[in-house]
Amino acid sequence: MKITSDSSIQIAAPLNTAAAAGAPEVQKPRVVQAAAFSGEISQARQALEAMPEVDMERVNAMKDAIKNGELLTDNASLAAAISCFYRP
């Protein structure tokens, strides 16, 4: 699936063709335009672009909670979670 800058979607679907009787089937891609979804995709893209990458308000609240002793951390659990995240 390919999403282009003009918000249209192109879906490559296989199209079965045979050159002659008994010849092996050849798969040729067929492009289907899904313009019906372009408005919805455009709205979703705009909403996503309006969101910040990092919720700094939430980050600062967590930092303050840790600093004030309101949120306790379990170093062993944190280390295990980090290890699992980066494990291939």
Q: Which sequence spans correspond to the domains of the chain?
A: 1-51, 53-88
On whether the CB atoms of residues 2 and 9 are closer than 8 A, the answer is yes
Count the helices and strands in the chain (H runs, E runs).
3, 3
In this prediction the pTM is 0.34
In contact, 9 and 1? CB cutoff 8 Å: yes
What pLDDT digit, counting tens, does each position of 28-70 carry? 666 555 666 678 888 888 998 998 889 999 999 999 998 999 9
Instruction: Quote the CA–CA distance of 81 and 87 in Å, as a whole number.
Output: 10
- Cα distance between residue 63 and residue 55, in whole Å: 13
